[in-house]
Structure 1
């Protein structure tokens, strides 16, 4: 059967050697299957191994097996694969399917990629961390390998944008486009009765879809919880023999591959967005799309992630619907209304904008460069980069921005730095302890949802006892055994709570130490968040190290599925070489708000000890106490005059419109963070909280700017606007737009709205009646005179006959006088 991608293959062949090609082809075009085989047939592998990168392990395995089958060979001959923990290749292998994390490791070991002739980035639109990082490193290494063929393939990202970006780093970049091969898909919209009821009403839609399906139904859901809930509901609504299969990242790869194969009986597959791309799902002719996905949004202030269930992007909706039309005409049931699609984003955000960047930052520094010096299709989020630097510094992997010897001892390439820190610390333990740590690390990396205990020791023992059921866990366990130079006969007999193991675990998770607060019934994390306790599953310890914690958008409390109970944290901290920080502050203390010196010993946000002193407080300490109090209670506790508020907003407008004074952060957050610079010098006579709350920040804010900046501000964003009658009118900067209030008669002869900031910002005009009541608010004075004035004149001239209402206001004289006063 001819596939659409074949139409561009002759042109692709002309691009070799040193090809730089962007290929845009929707699902079903054959880019992941036909194109690699074509390159083999063309002899491209004669100049080096062809490597195709896939963003998901199950996709890599599935494609490798499919391509090998097309050649009539078992996988591992001409076509092989390498994913984390598993590899099948031989000397005969010419085409290797890998995941991007593998390429990062290869690049760190050999930037020239010796023996590799062609790199194919497949499904680049998925934009995971490894794909963006590995492509950035490849582009940086291209001067060493000008002969390397580079192909970037995407189903949804516009090829032209990729081409323009790539031309900054490569010459002779080509774009090839192919149509997709798909059958018509009929869309049905089934919006829920209320947006919050979508999960309750979805099973009814699945039952409807199953009734019209000829082969099978694919249901897209946000996560495992929803899959389990819907599966339970469907088992009650449908015949007991109905085949209902889950498909998500937590089930073993072999089981995932089995789900992808067609069966003789009609089935329902309940899947996360793992089924959007890369996989060929046989026997599917109907899709039910919940329109939602679950993403982890990194919270840099905590070093933790928040799970957010959100609407999918338009590109994802198109991808999902296309699954129904891959093999025959199909149907797609959508749990939203057609009008809802106007609010969908075009594309999902890339991982470099939403995820923890600690591993990425470590790899970039190992590469010998800085993030800003590499080629990124989307720049990594600066705040997340800063949080990553802080974490790597706090754990001894960075010092003054440079990698330490400790960092260079860690395994190379893409792994979680926390896990690598634990593994490195465990090298000093006994063989029995290392055997226990191999089990523990596998449990942290590949937790199985069927094991419910939250105690790390209990979870690890359960994983080990049921290891034959957990293929992914067993792969990681064997990997760590090999890392420690052990055999699987070593077992998992050492107690996980052993001091040596606990010390090693703490090396990677010092910010995850948590103290139980009996009054609140939850844990305070050292990193700043709080985690709910669960006495039904675990007797609450005084302390814990929490490994698996996520925050849900509906709750301010995180939840943990895995923690290590600790009786007393202080000896463990000392043994692990983690020293609490001692700080001395002056604070307003007690009901009478008296100023006292307080010495605290803290581990992050956890107070280990506190001592209050009645010693005298000097001016510097008092100012420090004022700053701390304002940061806790807010700037609005100050006596903000209207002029002060105006000044803050005037600077805002000059920054936004004029692009000036950008070195000053006049937001509430910015002012709070710089109190010592702009406010403290003006507090010399402020002695109490009462006096502080009476203090007007206007003068301090004025002199925060130098003389020339203040003059520029007064010129560009003046406090007053002069009317044609030479009367000064106050400009209100506190609204959404700068605004003046002026009587309509004073604007006669003014053809255009007032402007500020070098005529770049229009000032809204409130035109008032002679009695001072609002007649019209306008941003376009010219339009008002031409269109609305005649109606206003008709209504007002009878009500205010003593005042002028000329037919031609633009040729009339501006005035604030009555007709008699004018005469």
Structure 2
């Protein structure tokens, strides 16, 4: 049946044997081996029921189905058919269905047993799309729990097969060596100058490649914008026999087909995105020019926004692209980087589940009735973005507070849209179809200002808008409108607010058009934009920056419309807070919607406790007002050990509400807080028994042998007491404090109250250094006693009697 023979044919018997024996397999085959069009046909005699094969892209799905149908001498829709978004060619006779990945998820959710399906094939799994990861996890659970007979095949070109095989319970791994023609790789001699635009560098390299080599060229670029700019730079400069063909996902199928079809005369230069990396065989290509860039969606859970970023390709992606030059003959790959720069490339691109918005995934998991840890994910979804996704779904009433799906959530999951837009469509009805379709597409009016109203007007009068985008939006809106009810008329702002309740923006005070979003993030608009004066807006697109995201699309909404939509979520909040600028407690009553303050009034009769709590915020900023008295008390308590409260700065700051709140006494300003004596509050942290122990074991003063109360200074490393040397005569045991008997540092002074000795061991001082002190001091102070043995002398503060 298979002519001409392809490399994959050599391993098909091994694959069918593995399927018959184990019911599952992982197939590794390089690009061009023929796995996409040969494997489903080879499995037909060995599988009961339909074979469903997943393709990551619509063009690849349609092309694969048509190629297999052609092999059978049929047209698509007979034995082999396809189903993609907005189009299906299947019949009762169809045994092989090639579908895009989201369609499998819908099939599983509506019929978990996959009735009538005998095998599921995941093609190009190395691309690691979110839908493919989810589809494999769900299909594997179905096979384990409901359908032991369900055949499962995972096919990949560059992915490490072992982790996938392990996840599928040690599935057999079959490898096809392929039969790629030799491809010569040519690198740049020097890096592209930072001052040179990517498009200009690519255009120069393309001209060099098509001049040096024969055959058609496939040029890899990150996106449509770069494709259009390179096309403009090449037109009129390429050889006369070269036709330039763009290829990207948003094009019409007819234009995509023209790009991949063989050139009828001369040769062609296909300017493509990553859509051309795998699955598709573009005829006649013998030259690859790789710009070394890929565009990926990155989701920032801290901002709740996604943005497209242009990054360096991985080594695996570069190798995939290089292989396209050797599909039909020997070829050449030109890389827009030096050989030295290649070492800095990552081995593989990140799986989409690691970087994407996980809102749709969270909704599908809830509909399936499972948590992520219950399913076999090759890469588990990250906790932070998944938690953010579930919080959004709760705000859209798609999940309840326990994370269970609601009836509304089930309705959203059934729509082929992001849950935000599905919610808008469900609530607003048919009137929101155009807006949902528009927000699902790229901007048809780039650089035309922020206002979303301009885009909606372009649907009726395109003017300078991108006609291709406008036509796709119209067609999608027509499809979405089918079966939707007519509801009360809503403004554009109201409909957008249904989809983006967390991105309703309130203009901040000041000349710059900066907005606080209801979700708590900041966003900024160009001050020259016509919408810059709007007080309230709904932001539908930003650049995704975590801090002050740049607003690319927004629409105005009135406060009345906001209250009409979310009146039940608008509430008054009484706030006593510390104002850094005024350095005082400010008591306000605020009407809040999320993070937005819609109304702000003075709270004149704020209760004293609320004021005190506001003052605590100020204390956390300025620190505790330690007096010498308070420091001494805290130091005494510290010597009592762990059985007493921790009065360190960190511990006290962490528990301000517990011990200081009742003692603030109406202090509202920074000055009042700095003058606050916290000693009484610290004393209140001890009960009566503790206070008795403290005064007994770590007293505030030391009673000297003559009965004088000497204050103890606890501020240093050792507790310290100062007294006249003579009043310590007769002391044979050094004084200590605390349960651990910490020695006092005794500062002994002369009769003139000048320090003559500092000691932590009085008995040792008497034995050693005292003799030198006595020798020095008795001449200076002859009227005072200086006995040879101070341990036998009586303590005194008096001078010697006259004549003695």
TM-score by length of 1: 0.71
Counterpart position of 1:166: 168
| 1:790 matched residue in structure 2 | none
Q: Match for residue 8 of structure 1?
A: 11
1:158-185 deviations in Å (ceiling 9; x for gaps): 1122111221xxxx62110011221111
2:381 is paired with a residue of what secondary structure? Answer: coil
SS in 1 for 2:394: helix
In structure 2, do the counterparts of structure 1 residues 507 and 242 end up closer, same or farther at CA, with 3 Å as the change threshold?
same
Contact 1:82 1:88 in 2 (8 A): yes
CA distance in 1, matches of 2:618, 2:146: 53
Task: Tell me how far apart the structure 1 counterparts of residues 397 and 228 of structure 2 sit (CA, whole Å).
Answer: 42
Cα 1:629–1:38 shift into 2, 3 Å? farther
**1:243, 1:407 → 2: CA distance?**
49
Which of 527, 541, 565 aligns to 2:556? It is 565
1:298 to partner: Cα distance: 0.5
Q: Secondary structure at the match of 1:551?
A: coil
Instruction: State the SS of the aligned residue for 2:36.
Output: coil
The aligned counterpart of 2:436 is 441
Conservation of the 8 A alpha-carbon contact between 1:64 and 1:75: yes
Q: Partners of 2:221 and 2:79 in 1: how far apart?
A: 37
Does residue 146 (structure 1) correspond to residue 135 (structure 2)? The answer is: no
Q: 1:181 to 1:689 in 2, by over 3 A?
A: farther
Deviation at 1:239, TM superposition (A): 6.0
Give unpaired runs (5+ residues) of structure 1: 428-433, 487-493, 640-671, 701-823
Change (3 A) 1:593 1:576: closer
Q: How much has 1:501 moved relative to structure 2?
A: 5.9
Change (3 A) 1:693 1:211: farther
How do 1:355-754 and structure 2 match up within 5 A?
355-400=356-401, 401-412=403-414, 415-427=417-429, 434=430, 436-447=431-442, 449=444, 454-463=450-459, 472-484=472-484, 499=490, 502-517=493-508, 519-527=511-519, 528-533=521-526, 535=528, 541-551=534-544, 556-560=548-552, 562-566=553-557, 568-575=558-565, 577=567, 579-589=569-579, 591-613=581-603, 618=608, 622=612
Superposed CA offset, 1:73-99 (max 9, x none): 111111100011111101111111001
CA 23–188 in structure 1, closer or farther in 2 if over 3 Å, else same: same
| Structure 2 Cα separation of the partners of residues 370 and 227 of structure 1 | 41
Deviations 1:309-359 (A, max 9, x none): 211111111111111111111111112222222222111111111111111
Number of the residue aligned with 1:327: 328
Identify the range of structure 1 (103-112 vs 401-410) with the bigger mean alpha-carbon deviation: 401-410
Match of 1:770 in 2: none
Please say if residues 363 and 413 of structure 2, whose CA atoms lie closer than 8 Å, have aligned partners that are also in contact: no
1:251 corresponds to 2:251: yes
Kept in 2: contact 1:446–1:473 (CA 8 A): yes
Whole-angstrom CA distance in 1 between matches of 2:223 and 2:539: 22
For residue 174 of structure 2, what is the aligned residue in structure 1? 176
CA distance in 2, matches of 1:638, 1:242: 81
Q: Distance in 2 between matches of 1:628 and 1:50?
A: 68
Rate the CA distance shift 1:197–1:452 in 2: closer, same or farther, 3 A: closer
Aligned-partner SS, 1:67? helix
Over 3 Å counting, the alpha-carbon distance change for 1:136 and 1:382 in structure 2 is: same
Q: Quote the Cα distance in structure 1 between the aligned partners of 2:363 and 2:674.
A: 45
The residue aligned with 2:42 is 38
Q: Pick closer, same or farther for the CA change 1:575–1:179 going to 2, 3 Å.
A: same
- Whole-angstrom distance in 2 between the partners of 1:693 and 1:289: 70
Task: Please state whether the residue corresponding to 2:278 is helix, strand or coil.
Answer: coil
What RMSD, in angstroms, separates the aligned Cα atoms of the two structures? Answer: 3.6
> Is the Cα–Cα contact under 8 Å of residues 222 and 294 in structure 1 kept in the other structure?
yes
SS of match in other structure, 1:29:
coil
1:32 Cα deviation after fit: 0.5
CA contact (8 A) 1:185 1:324 kept: yes
Given that 2:123 and 2:154 are in contact with CA atoms closer than 8 Å, whether structure 1 keeps it comes out as yes
**Cα gap change, 1:525 to 1:16, in 2 (>3 Å):** same
What secondary structure sits across from 1:173 in the alignment?
A: coil
**Are 1:230 and 2:230 matched, yes or no?**
yes
Distance in 2 between residues matched to 1:213 and 1:116, nearest whole Å: 48
8 A Cα contact 1:588 1:596, kept in partner: yes
Pair 72,472 (structure 1): closer, same or farther in 2 beyond 3 Å: farther
Deviation, 1:56, is 1.0
Q: In structure 1, how many angstroms separate the alpha carbons of the residues matched to 2:287 and 2:619?
A: 60
Q: 1:585 to 1:537 in 2, by over 3 A?
A: closer
**Structure 1 residues 303 and 177, CA gap change in structure 2 (3 angstroms):** same
Quote the offset at 1:19 in angstroms. Answer: 1.4
Q: For residues 155 and 574 of structure 2, what CA distance do their matches in structure 1 show?
A: 57
CA distance in 1, matches of 2:160, 2:58: 25
Once residues 638 and 37 of structure 1 are traced to their aligned partners in structure 2, the CA distance between those partners, rounded to angstroms, is 82
Report what 1:202 is aligned to: 202
Asked which structure has the greater CA Rg, the reply is 2
Question: SS of 2:35's equivalent?
Answer: coil
5+ residue gaps in structure 2? 627-649, 683-804
**1:544-594, CA deviations, whole angstroms, 9 ceiling, x for partnerless residues?**
2232333369x953242x43333x233333245562344333333264411
Deviations 1:260-307 (A, max 9, x none): 112123222222212211211112211111211121211112221133
Number of positions where the alignment pairs a residue of Structure 1 with one of Structure 2: 636
- TM-score, length-scaled by structure 2: 0.72
State the match for 1:723 in structure 2. none
Q: Is the 8 A contact 2:19 2:151 kept in 1?
A: yes
The residue number in structure 1 matching 2:755 is none
Q: Deviation string for 1:359-411 (max 9, x for gaps)?
A: 11011001111122111000001100110111011122222222223223334
The Cα offsets for residues 781-804 of structure 1, whole Å up to 9 and x where unpaired, read as: xxxxxxxxxxxxxxxxxxxxxxxx
